[in-house]
């Protein structure tokens, strides 16, 4: 049996530093928000074979005076255009100009949202994350209502939530760094990924807690609480790693082969699932033990 609980200190230090770094990145660089949240236009145009230089294209679009125009070349000789105006007329003018200069250019995708929509999406996203966390917390407290000794059931809920906030912070932090250095934007798909990570991270934590619950109900009185938790962790370790591996395998397949549109969506999931597994093994149960120890110290 591996004594995982005895390594708690290192896990706390590692996670603490990582979380602080992510918070720092979020505070300093923030997140690069996509048009879903800021409003504006995103247009993907394909150029047959000879992809023109970004500067040249920008020069050609100069007299349209597009506010905050940015170009980004992607695979398959396409360029992503981003700009603030979000009306049909502007888009048509851009396409017309492109067609004149590059007769072979072809509009692949045009998304735009005006500020009403983007504001709405922003508040919807924040609320949905709030409700997901609240819903999960209530569910865990309910599912573990029968376990109250030696640690009360709401502490299981708290432990799962702390682990989950940890996973979410790290994923968001990584995207803040990616946004700063590689211009990767976050939109609605990112929020969907976050919510899925929420579900998955809790799923993992629950499996471990579930085993702890079962072992507590059946354990002999000789075993201490930290020992029971550690035994439960060991018993579920292979399962935790194997499950995460299968999910990570499929996510990697999507990330590598799934194409541009869902690449960063799967990357967010990949980061979240990986840290979700880590936190359910090293953080969530450790928190139970830590709070148990605090409880005992308090009593004596």
Partner 1 sequence: MNVRQKLRLKFGAVIILAILAGLISYPRAVSKIPKLYDFFNKPKINLGLDLQGGIHLEYKADLSQVDLAKQKEAMQAMQDAVERKINAFGVAEPVIYTTKSGDEQRLIVELAGIRDINEAKKRIGEMPFLEFKEEKETAVEKIPEDELNKFNETAKKKAEDVLKKALAGEDFAKLAKENSEDPGSKEKGGEYDFIKKGMFVPEYEAVIFDKGLEDGEIYKELVKTQFGWHIIKRIEVRGEGDPAKSPEGDSGASNQEFKSAHILIAKKVQPEPKIEVTATSLTGKNLKSASVGFQNQGLTEPVIDLEFDEEGTKLFAEITKRNIGKRVAILIDGEIITNPTVNSEIPNGKAQITGSYTTQEANDLVKRLNEGALPVPIGNPINQQSVEASLGKISLEKSLKAGIIGMVLVIIFMLLFYRFLGLVASFSLLIYSALMISIFKLSGFSPWQITLTLPGIAGFVLSIGMAVDANILIFERTKEEIKKGRDILSAIEEGFKRAWTSIRDGNMSSIITAFILIEMGTGFVKGFAVTLIIGVIVSMFTAVVITRTILRFVMGKWLENKLWLIGVRK
Query: Which parts of 233-252 interact with partner 1 (CB under 8 A)?
Result: 235-236, 238-239, 242-243, 245-252
Which of 60, 97, 101, 111 binds partner 1 (CB under 8 A)? It is 111
Q: Based on the shown chain and the rule CB under 8 A, indicate whether residue 121 belongs to the binding site for partner 1.
A: yes
Asked whether position 128 contacts partner 1 by CB under 8 A, the answer is: yes
Mask for 23-62, x = binds partner 1 (CB under 8 A): ---------------------x------------------
When asked if residue 69 is in the footprint of partner 1 (CB under 8 A), the reply is no
Tell me: does residue 231 bind partner 1 (CB under 8 A).
Answer: no
Q: How many other β-carbons are positioned within 10 Å of the β-carbon of residue 153?
A: 19
Contact 240, 261 (CB under 8 A): no
- Binding flag, residue 258, partner 1 (CB under 8 A): yes
Retrieve residue 70's tokens: 């940015």
Q: Which of 199, 224, 293, 296 binds partner 1 (CB under 8 A)?
A: 199
228 binds partner 1 (CB under 8 A): no
Contacts of 287 (CB under 8 A, 6+ apart): 155, 158, 159, 162, 163
Single out the segment in contact with partner 1 by CB under 8 A; choices: 23-31, 49-57, 60-68, 196-204: 196-204
Q: Residue 199: how many CA atoms within 13 Å on its side-chain side? A: 7
**Binding of partner 1 at residue 80 (CB under 8 A)?**
no
Cβ 55 to partner 1, closest distance in Å?
25
**CB-based contact 231:215 (threshold 8 Å):** yes
* Size, binding site for partner 1 by CB under 8 A: 71
Q: What angle separates helix 188-218 from helix 115-143, to the nearest 10 degrees?
A: 0
Report DSSP letters for 4-30, one per residue: -GGGHHHHHHHHHHHHHHHHHHHHHT-
């Amino acid at each position: 049996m591996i004594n995982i609980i005895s390594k708690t200190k290192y896990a706390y230090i590692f996670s603490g530093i990582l979380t602080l770094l992510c918070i720092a990145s979020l505070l300093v660089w923030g997140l690069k928000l996509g048009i879903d949240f800021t409003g504006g236009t995103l247009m993907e145009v394909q150029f047959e074979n000879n992809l023109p230089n970004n500067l040249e294209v920008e020069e050609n679009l100069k007299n349209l005076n597009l506010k905050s125009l940015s170009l980004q070349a992607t695979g398959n000789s396409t360029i992503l255009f981003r700009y603030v105006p979000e009306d049909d007329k502007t888009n048509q003018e851009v396409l017309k100009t492109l067609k004149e200069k590059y007769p072979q250019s072809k509009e692949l995708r045009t998304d735009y949202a005006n500020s009403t929509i983007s504001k709405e999406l922003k508040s919807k996203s924040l609320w949905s994350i709030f409700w997901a966390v609240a819903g999960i917390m209530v569910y865990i407290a309910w599912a573990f209502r029968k376990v109250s000794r030696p640690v009360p059931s709401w502490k299981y809920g708290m432990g799962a939530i702390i682990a989950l906030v940890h996973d979410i912070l790290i994923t968001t932090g990584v995207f803040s760094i990616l946004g700063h250095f590689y211009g990767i934007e976050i939109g609605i798909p990112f929020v969907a990924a976050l919510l899925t990570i929420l579900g998955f991270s809790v799923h993992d934590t629950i499996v471990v807690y579930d085993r702890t619950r079962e072992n507590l109900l059946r354990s002999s009185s000789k075993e201490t609480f930290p020992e029971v938790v550690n035994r439960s962790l060991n018993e579920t370790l292979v399962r935790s790693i194997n499950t995460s591996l299968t999910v990570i395998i499929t996510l990697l397949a999507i990330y590598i082969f799934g194409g541009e549109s869902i690449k960063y969506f799967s990357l967010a999931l990949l980061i979240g699932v990986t840290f979700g597994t880590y936190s359910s093994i090293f953080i969530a149960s450790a928190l139970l033990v830590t709070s148990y120890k605090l409880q005992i110290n308090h009593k004596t």
